[in-house]
Amino acid sequence: MIQTKDSILNIDPYIGGESALRDASNAARLMSNENPFGLSPKAIEAFKEYTPYLHLYAQGDCRLLREALAEKYSLNAANIVCGNGSDELLGLLAHAYAGVGDDVLYSQHGFLVYPIVAKTAGATPIAIPEQNLHTDLEAILKAITPKTKIIYLANPNNPTGSYITHAAMVDFCARLPKTVLLVLDEAYAEYVDEADYAIGTKLVEQFPNVCITRTFSKIHGMAALRLGWGYFPPSVADILNRIRAPFNVNGAAQVAGIAALTDDSHIARTKAHNKQWFARLAKELPALGFPVVPSVANFFLMHTGARTVEIYEHLLKNEIFVRRVKAYYLPEHLRVTIGSSEGLDRLLVALRGL
């Protein structure tokens, strides 16, 4: 029989949020960190205007999108690489810089894609324990060996919602061996308003072994269009452009992404909704017996203890979808997306019913 890599056979396939009733018209979708307002009106209009050109190949290098990103964030467009979602970029980095006999480190409660892409490259993923649901940078530094090739860190982190301060990130990068590539996954960066947080673009320009990835799936509401991007040192960007697929980002996603970047009102509306509802839920859920873990993203962990399965199934019967996080080593929590007002109201009613 034909054979594949042993590391691939050890992969547990990624499973997204509950999908058994995903198409139910009255379902409350609180499991996948989606934007409850969907795409921005500007992105929708750009998408519609692009439909006559769907038979044509899109720009293979995403030049216009990269230029729009560079202008918005004051970056060098040549160091931006776009992907079919940021997940593609995370995987390409693993294939480019890790392999059999190498180690890939990530935080214990980090995104499940990190160990998956490490194994597909033949490398060994190693989860580093956290401290009180926060990434332990000191423990990660101590875990580095000559076999360590990549470190994946989400900032803010999914599913905990915690974040690493900019000062701590600068110190960590300065102490990191130059032979180790640090990948900062900033999928939820747009939601963070804390004064001691900063996106990692300056770190990329300061350190030759640091890169960041971003996505349009969250605050921009473009999850189905699969659009991500990253900012990389020139040598890393060159490698990624060598190994990515020639037309890895579809044209509709590119034009919608460019339009989404200009819609500040849509972003502001999303953030205001997020902040308002988190403040309310952080007050009302503990009163019902479900403590909430502080979060700077558009989701939070709700502690449900020994009743986790019972509560999850109760919500499921009421067509309220939240996310179990047992695979993230958090068997006594549920992750809840700050979704639509209607869906969150239904969540509160259902929990009161317990």
37 is a domain residue: no
| Best CA proximity match to 18, nearest among 343, 335, 304, 346 | 335
Q: How far apart are CA 83 and CA 226, in angstroms?
A: 8
CATH assignment of the domain containing 216: 3.40.640.10
Q: Indicate whether 198 and 285 sit together in one domain.
A: no
What band does 136 get if pLDDT is binned at 50, 70 and 90? very high
CATH assignment of the domain containing 296: 3.90.1150.10
List, in order, residues 6 or more apart from 142 with CB less than 8 Å away.
none
Lowest mean pLDDT, pick from 1-5, 14-18, 149-153, 282-286: 14-18
Q: Which pairing describes strands 103-107 and 228-231: parallel, antiparallel, or unpaired? A: unpaired
pLDDT in tens, 276-316: 999 999 999 999 999 999 999 999 999 999 999 999 999 99
302 and 290 in contact (C-beta within 8 Å)? Answer: yes
Residue 299, strand partner residues: 337
From 199, 228, 261, give the residue that closes a domain.
261
pLDDT of residue 26: 79
Q: Indicate whether 224 and 301 sit together in one domain.
A: no
65 is a domain residue: yes
277 is a domain residue: yes
From 261, 283, 315, give the residue that closes a domain.
261
251 is a domain residue: yes
Q: Indicate whether 93 and 142 sit together in one domain.
A: yes
- What total number of domains does the chain contain? 2
What band does 11 get if pLDDT is binned at 50, 70 and 90? confident
What band does 27 get if pLDDT is binned at 50, 70 and 90? confident
Q: What Cα–Cα distance (Å) separates residue 268 from each residue in 37, 106, 253, 259, 263? A: 12, 32, 21, 15, 9
Q: Indicate whether 65 and 210 sit together in one domain.
A: yes
Q: In terms of residue numbers, what domain contains 177?
A: 44-261
Instruction: Give yes or no for residue 131 having a pLDDT over 70.
Output: yes
58 is a domain residue: yes
Q: Indicate whether 187 and 286 sit together in one domain.
A: no
Q: Indicate whether 150 and 165 sit together in one domain.
A: yes
pLDDT in tens, 32-58: 999 999 999 999 999 999 999 999 999
| Four-residue CA torsion sign, 242, 145, 329, 191 | negative
Instruction: Give yes or no for residue 345 having a pLDDT over 70.
Output: yes
215 is a domain residue: yes
Which value, to the nearest 10 degrees, does the dihedral of the CA atoms of residues 66, 72, 74, 78 take? Answer: 0
Q: Indicate whether 256 and 320 sit together in one domain.
A: no
pLDDT of residue 163: 98
Q: Indicate whether 114 and 255 sit together in one domain.
A: yes
293 is a domain residue: yes
Q: How far apart are CA 290 and CA 335, in angstroms?
A: 12
Q: Indicate whether 137 and 246 sit together in one domain.
A: yes
187 is a domain residue: yes
List, in order, residues 6 or more apart from 333 with CB less than 8 Å away.
159, 293, 301, 302, 303, 304, 308, 325
Q: Indicate whether 234 and 97 sit together in one domain.
A: yes
The widest CA-to-CA distance across the chain, in whole angstroms, is: 58
What pTM was computed for the model?
0.93
pLDDT of residue 16: 66
244 and 81 in contact (C-beta within 8 Å)? Answer: yes
pLDDT of residue 20: 47
Both tokens of residue 336? 């809840």
Could you give the percent of the chain with pLDDT greater than 70?
A: 96
Q: Indicate whether 63 and 207 sit together in one domain.
A: yes
From 235, 261, 287, give the residue that closes a domain.
261
pLDDT of residue 3: 73
Q: Indicate whether 228 and 334 sit together in one domain.
A: no
Q: How far apart are CA 259 and CA 269, in angstroms?
A: 16
